Amino acid sequence: MSRRALLGLGGGLVVGAAAAGAAGAVAVDAARTPDPAPSPADRTYPFTGAHQAGIVTPAQDRLYLAAFDVTTTDRDALVDLLRRWTVMAARMTQGLPAGPFAPASGPYDAPPDDTGEAADLPAAGLTITFGFGRSLFVGAPGATAPDADRFGLGGRLPAGLVELPHFAGDDLDPARSDGDLVVQACADDPQVAVHAVRNLSRAAFGTARIRWTQLGYGRTSSTSTAQRTPRNLFGFKDGTANLKAEETADVETHVWVPADAATEGGTDAAWLTGGTYLVARRIRMHVETWDRSSLREQEALVGRTKGEGAPLSGGTEFTEPDLDATGGDGKPLVALDSHVRLAHPTQNDGVRMLRRGYNFTDGNDALGRLDAGLLFLAFVVDPRTHFVPMQTRLSAQDGLMEYLVHTGSGLFAVPPGVPDGALPTGSDGTPVLTDDAPFIGQALFA
Ligand code: HEM
């Protein structure tokens, strides 16, 4: 029985008990109360579709992101893993256990199919998004044959899956960077997101192992106009001018890889058409120093007010910044070194990106300072045009950089989705694993 069905049964029992205790009151309430709106925790997003979920999906509150190294050179084993991951993800995103057996059932002398910690929890809007790192195609930087092309994928490397350059101020930890595969699990309940990655990692045993992970909370972007703008750990609204799902023409231009990018650079990367790229940057924020800076300085560095998030050129949160406006002293109201000016599309050849980052707090360092910051995540059509130039400018000129250090980095090609209706289902109508089940990124291996 599914996690959701089990939950429904549990809920029924609770209502039953309440009814037995106060039958009259319940009857009156039932007559008065309109149908309850579906609880956000019960929200599910389809796993299948033209594009993967977890990109334009309204950003959930929690993230667990894991990058993996593939530990085998056996291409069939890699394909087998992706096939198993696809079915597991299709199940877990619908609130079902990872495998066909519920966590406390199945063969008694074998480990349970599902680890169980999400057994009583609803889907909580879980999305699972998969991506491939450059090293999957050409090996780690400096790799030579046969490691360089372990899976015969060198000729399928998409032109945008570059080695990111070193940016001024970077202090990247290799143990928190890169990876052959990435899994982004987002949900409104951290236990659901962690459960998903844990079960996928368990299925990868012998084929791939986790290289680095990041737990995130308090989404730092809104990706739908229906969402309120959240705040990052500097206390500022983040996501005001983000690319939103409703801006369909701009999403088409700035997020999804077009068909004509397929042969750029002389490789065959048609498999990525309709996909995108995920840029991940673990950015530590020196919050202690920030907290000692004046409100005037904080607002000047961002270019927006801390309260409402309005541009310093005037207006309210969603007023477009007027970068030409000057104050009585003749200086620009949105300072030349402010983040919002430097990241604004007019200063970046019209570039927009779909930011989908999360706050993180990973304990403290030896000096008692929080190891806290922002896991910057952005989905872009091409990192060469949509990330590298902007990050180059920000790292050199952005006043905020005094309070930031990039400590981890990853770039992944995110294939399109598994088409609707393509996954085989069992007698109970839920996705099941078969030898020829379609899988995420299948066109890459065709
Ligand atoms: C910890 C690091 C960062 C912090 C605290 C931060 C904070 C902010 C804030 C407060 C805003 C204004 C509200 C909004 O429109 O969302 C903003 C906007 C923006 N940021 Fe960042 N950001 C960070 C890193 C980055 C990085 C690494 C990039 C890209 C390379 C970036 C790109 C943008 C863009 C494109 C905008 C929208 C600009 C506009 O269209 O007006 N940010 N950021």
| Same domain (yes/no): 8, 63 | no
CA of 101 to the centre of ligand 1 (A): 44
pLDDT of 1 above 50: no
pLDDT at 34: 47
| Same domain (yes/no): 146, 89 | yes
The pLDDT tens digits of the residues spanning 129-146 come to: 999 999 999 999 889 988
| Same domain (yes/no): 16, 90 | no
| Same domain (yes/no): 65, 7 | no
| Same domain (yes/no): 390, 407 | yes
pLDDT at 66: 98
Choose one of 279, 320, 340, 354 to mutate for the ligand 1 pocket test, by most ligand atoms within 8 angstroms of C-beta.
340
Total domain count for the chain? 2
| Same domain (yes/no): 28, 48 | no
Range of the domain at 354: 39-445
- Using omega within 30 degrees of 0 as the cis cutoff, is the peptide bond preceding 174 cis? no
Choose one of 220, 234, 238 to mutate for the ligand 1 pocket test, by most ligand atoms within 8 angstroms of C-beta.
238
Of the listed ranges 15-24, 39-48, 104-113, 427-436, the one predicted with least confidence: 15-24
| Same domain (yes/no): 4, 76 | no
CA of 136 to the centre of ligand 1 (A): 30
For range 273-283, the mean pLDDT: 98
| Same domain (yes/no): 32, 45 | no
Q: Using a 6 Å cutoff on CB, does residue 375 contact ligand 1?
A: no
| Same domain (yes/no): 2, 124 | no
SS3 labels along the chain: CCHHHHHHHHHHHHHHHHHHHCHHHHHHHHHHCCCCCCCHHHCCCCCCCCCCCCCCCCCCCEEEEEEEEECCCCHHHHHHHHHHHHHHHHHHCCCCCCCCCCCCCCCCCCCCCCCCCCCCCCCCCCEEEEEEEHHHHHCCCCCCCCHHHCCCCHHHCCCCCCCCCCCCCCCCCHHHCCCCEEEEEEECCHHHHHHHHHHHHHHCCCCEEEEEEEEEECCCCCCCCCCCCCECCCCCECCCCCCCCCCHHHHHHHCCCCHHHCCHHHCCCHHHCCCEEEEEEEEEECHHHHHCCCHHHHHHHHCECCCCCCECCCCCCCCCCCCCCECCCCCECCCCCCHHHHHCHHHCCCCCCEECCEEEEEEECCCCCEEEEEEEEEEECCHHHHCHHHHHHHHHHCHHHHHEEEEEEEEEEECCCCCCCCCCECCCCCECCCCCCCCCCHHHHC
Of the listed ranges 3-17, 103-117, 341-355, 394-408, the one predicted with least confidence: 3-17
pLDDT at 39: 61
Residue nearest to ligand 1 atom 30, measured at CA? 391
| Same domain (yes/no): 331, 342 | yes
CA of 262 to the centre of ligand 1 (A): 30
CA of 265 to the centre of ligand 1 (A): 31
Mean pLDDT score of the chain, rounded to an integer? 92
Q: Using a 6 Å cutoff on CB, does residue 360 contact ligand 1?
A: no
Q: For the chain, give the percent of residues with pLDDT over 70.
A: 91
Give whole-number Cα distances, 215 to 31, 41, 184, 212, 357, in Å: 44, 19, 10, 10, 11
pLDDT at 7: 39
The pLDDT tens digits of the residues spanning 4-55 come to: 444 333 333 333 333 333 333 333 343 444 444 556 678 999 999 999 999 9
Which one has a higher pLDDT value, 234 or 225?
A: 234
pLDDT of 400 above 50: yes
| Same domain (yes/no): 343, 227 | yes
pLDDT at 222: 86
Ligand 1 atom closest to the CA of 387, numbered from 1: 30
Of the listed ranges 10-19, 174-183, 436-445, the one predicted with least confidence: 10-19
For range 56-64, the mean pLDDT: 96
